[in-house]
Structures are given as C-alpha cells and as structure tokens.
Structure 1
C-alpha cells in the first residue's frame, strides 16, 4: 500500500462510523458469495446510491461479466448525489477505505467522478492494489490519471449529434441546458463549451422536481432547443408526472443522452451503461489473470442508440421518425 493509504488508516474508523450513521451506507454482497478460499475478491465503489438507474445498470453488467469466474463481488455506495457536501463525501470515502482494509479485495472498481476524486486520487494513487474505473466524464487527466495501478473507461456523450438532430426542428439557434445541480453536471457543461465550442443561451440547474418543471416551462420561451441531462440527484423526481407535463407543455425540441429520459425528450442519442460495466468486468478479469493495469490502455465509450418520442413529436408537428430511430414506448 502507498504511504497515503497507510496514513489514512489512523482516522478512518471514527469517520467511517459517522458516515455510516449519516448515510446508512450498504455494503452488499453481489452475485454468488463464494465460500471457497480460492475465490478472488472485487470491491466496486459506486459513487452514488442504490436505485440510481445508470449506476445500477453498470453494476448489473459488471456482475454478469464476473459471473461464473470464481470472483466474489461486493458493492459499496458512497451516496454522493444525495449527500453532496465535502464533509459527507470525505467521510464516505474514508468508510470505503476502511472497507478495502477489511475486505482485502484483489481489485477495486469504481464508477463516476466522486469515487476517483475523493478516494482513488488521495488514497489509492500508485498503490499496490489495482483500480479499474468507469464513468469519469470527458477527461481523466483532471485527476492526474492514469496512475501506475489504474486503467478505465472515460465517459463521453454525443452532444454535437443531439444538437444537430434538434436543430432540424428548431425555430432558432438558442440552446438551453437543463440538469440536476451537481458538481459533475457543471463539469460536463464546461467540457461541452471547451471541446465543442458550444454556447448555452440559458442554463437551468435544479434541485427538486418542482424546480425542474418550472425551468422546463421557462426554457420553452427563453431558448429554441433544450438539452435534458440528468435528474438522479432530485430526491422527489417523478418520471410519470414529468412525462405528462412535458407532453402537455413542449413547444421546442429537446434531447438527452440517457435512455430513461427519452420519455421527456423529443430525441435521445443514448449511451450504454452496460458497455461500461462490461468493459470494467473484462479489464478486471485480465488483471486477475496477471495483466498490469498500466498495460491496459484507457478507453472511451462507443455504443449508442437513437430514440424518437412520437408523442412529443406530434405536439411539435413532427410526424416522421428519423432514420434508424427507435420509438420511445
């Protein structure tokens, strides 16, 4: 272990207990809990909470990939979306570190930025334990990656493609950005502007379902196209209500990169969480076979699918599905 890892152990126990009281974090055995002493161990650090659909699908794909491989997989939820303060996330990271110390995994896997920023970078960087990440948005070098003991899949979104499809039906060029108010989504906004030269006329960062609906209504008058990019941090999000609301109130084309938000968007060019979970599982198996993480190049997600919401389309006077598009149920 690195010196950072050893030094952190001194304060871990107290912080972990505090965090466990605050968040009731679950460390859940996944898949077949193998009794054999020869079974290898993998600990997955989920930056968010169980019930966050994107991450749950990543874990499911990881579990499926490791199934039947004599691997015991456990999951630790940092709950950083619902408890986003620096003190809460720091305490959760220390609790995760304590779990690593107790469980003694052969490989640690992670998803999303908080686990890398608050756990891997300060405590596991260049340590002896291998780390495989996914879900880091746009640029891993933000955290000094890659390290000697890490590899992973960087997550990118097809934002220019979504905008191009929306523009065909827009009355002007003003673009809006509607999302949960989180550090990760603000990071995404910055990279949209930096990488693609996108200028947003209006940005709407919201913290509740009611705020989301209010911002959606404002956007119908203030911009000509609207990107809808994340609601997992909204504690009272109600998809059924949002779907009815959007179908009644849409006046401009909207787009998303999440499949479960195609119900509230005209167009979806969606990423695949299963791709990321599979990649992490496959890289983990290679490492368990003796491959060094540094010998596995960083990757980017490539899979995607086009969706079209006919109910919103009819509201906007659009009747034809784009070529190769899948209709939203």
Structure 2
C-alpha cells in the first residue's frame, strides 16, 4: 500500500513537471532563425544573444544572421536579401529579429503578413505602428530608455545638475529615441538644453565643446560605429574618453558597457531582459499560441550602475542613501 502511494505521488509530480515545462520535458526541439541588426562584436548584440540563449538553449537549434547595419547601413539591404535566402533554405519554426533595422529592411519586406512563421522582435525603439505591428505573425518587445530615472540617479550623486544635453550618433534608431525624448522631456527633472545627433565624430566633439558651458551634464546614448572626417570607424569605447575630455563634466548613460567605458552612472536597460522576453514569447508561439494572442510588451527593469573610479576622479561624495542597491563598476578589485 505504501509503495503504491509513493508510485502515485511520483507519477503526479512527473505529470506536473511536464505540464509546467512542456518544451524541455517533452523533448520539443525548434529551429529558430535569429536576425541581428548589428555585428557580433557589439556589446548590445551580445547582451541580447545571452538573453535569447538563456531561454532557448539547449532545447532549440539557433541559426544567427548578422546584418551589420551599424557599420554599414546601405550594405544591410543586400544582407537582408541574403538573410531571406537563409530563411527559405532552413525553414525555421520561428524567427527572432532584433533592433529597428532588422524590422525595416528584413521583417517588413520579407516576413510580415507574408509567411506563417511566428516572428518576435526586441530592441525596437520606434512605435510599433511604424512597422505595421502587431501583424498576423509578428509581435515582440519594444525598447524604452530609462532616461528620466538615469537623470534622477545622477542628481542624487550631484544635486547641482540642473541642465543637460543629449548626444548620440545619427541613425534610424536615434530618430526613434528622439521621439521618446520629445514625448517625455517635459517630465525630466532638468532643463533640456539640446539633443545632438551627429553624423561624424568631429561634429560631435565640436558640438560638445560649444555647449559645455550651457549645461551641467551630458546624457550619452551611443556613438558606436561613428566615422571621423577621414572615414575611420570608432567604437563607443574609443569615443567616450574623447567626449569626456571635450566635455569635462559628468556623463550619464543607459547601458552597462557605457558605464564600464567611462560614464559616471546609468539606470540601465539590458539586452538580456529583452532577448529573454522575446524568446519566451516566440516559444509560446511555436508551441501553438496564436501570435494574435501574444501582446506587444516593452522592457520594464532598470538597474542603477555607478563607475566608482569616475566618481572619485570627479571628487563626488554622495550621501550613503544614494548608493543603496547600486552596482559598482570601475573598482580596483
């Protein structure tokens, strides 16, 4: 009798486990095509990749395609055609498309409403209706920067911050982020002096030098793959020290790798969150949930990051309350 009871309990637990984790327990294996807007060395792309793989591996087979549009936007259109060729060849069960450029040059012309394959996006700064989303086979995760929270965090460290400028490289994503800024800037706890979108590194540094006397801090989004007047490409890691020197005042940002490269602080968004969320949504679709029932969402979580080395170099001595729950980088350890 006792053995029979143990057997029944064991079977019940197994059935419950299978119900809670159907994909992995029942051996469902899906083929997923991941189309990334940028290149595989860009820190943001690596964050998203980590998030995707935390959900889909090892149960799914992942095929990556890199459009490399941050370094070569025009060349991205030909790469998008190549990506569609790969899609047709491998016939995936689902597609993940990351950041805005993958939507405009790949998903919209080739997949949206044209195939039955479920497609989930993430890292999208534009409003979804700009791409005709949601669509019969498309949903995903919008990206919204924690600009207001990042500024408020900086003010906890330096209460004298009253005026701010914003800077990023001119690109399709920067245009979408500017629209977020337009919607929100009246709610920011500072006076917004200017929003700089530069085509070249030389223009960016010139603008910063001219405006530095009119503001107390600079919000740095990204200048990744910006070119100088001679056509050389620069990474954020190379640009940030130049901007810091030209500006000479606190830099605020919104990505972990920016703070690690020399900005003072940020309330970061993470590619891991967005990649994992989109992957879970795609898994639901591949397991039979109609895409029409999977609502578009957006990133939700922010984490306060502080570069201790930069803080000390600027002579900042914040109140202890400002450091509660803060992740420190730039330490000597």
Which of the five TM-score ranges fits, normalised by the shorter chain?
0.7 to 0.9
Aligned CA RMSD, in angstroms, stands at 2.5
CA deviations 1:41-100 (Å, max 9, x no partner) are: 11001011111111122112212321121x211011111111123xx3322222211111
**Which residues in structure 2 correspond to 1:246-285 (within 5 Å)?**
246=244, 251-262=248-259, 263-285=261-283
Q: Distance in 1 between matches of 2:239 and 2:184?
A: 35
Matched, 1:118 2:108: no
| Structure 2 gap segments, 5+ residues each | 1-27, 227-232
Deviations, residues 238-289 of structure 1 (Å, cap 9, x unaligned):
626844873x666433211110111322221101111111112212222221
**TM-score, length-scaled by structure 1:** 0.79
- For residue 95 of structure 1, give the secondary structure of its aligned residue in structure 2: helix
Is 1:52 matched with 2:50? Answer: no
- Provide the residue aligned with 2:172 in structure 1: 183
Q: Which residue, 221, 224, 228 being the options, matches 1:229? A: 221
Q: Which residue of 2 aligns with 1:328?
A: 329
Question: Contact 1:256/1:265 (CA < 8 Å) preserved in 2?
Answer: yes
In the TM superposition, residue 236 of structure 1 has moved relative to its aligned partner by 2.2
2:92 pairs with one of 105, 108, 132: 105
- Give runs of aligned pairs for residues 93-172 of structure 1, distance below 5 A: 93-126=80-113, 127-137=115-125, 139-167=127-155, 169=158, 171=160
3-state secondary structure, aligned to 1:201? strand
Aligned residues of 1:62 and 1:280 also touching (Cα < 8 A): yes
Structure whose CA Rg is larger: 2
Deviation at 1:205?
2.9
C-alpha distance 310-325 of structure 1, shift in aligned 2 (>3 A): same
Conserved? CA contact 1:154–1:299, under 8 Å: yes
Whether contact under 8 Å (1:250, 1:312) holds in the other structure is: no
Cross-structure match for 2:293: 295
- Deviates most, 100-109 or 275-284: 275-284
- What are the Cα deviations for residues 120-139 of structure 1, in whole angstroms up to 9, with x where unaligned? 12221223111011011152
1:34 equivalent in structure 2: none
Structure 2 Cα separation of the partners of residues 138 and 241 of structure 1: 25
Offset at 1:172? 5.8
8 A Cα contact 2:141 2:296, kept in partner: yes
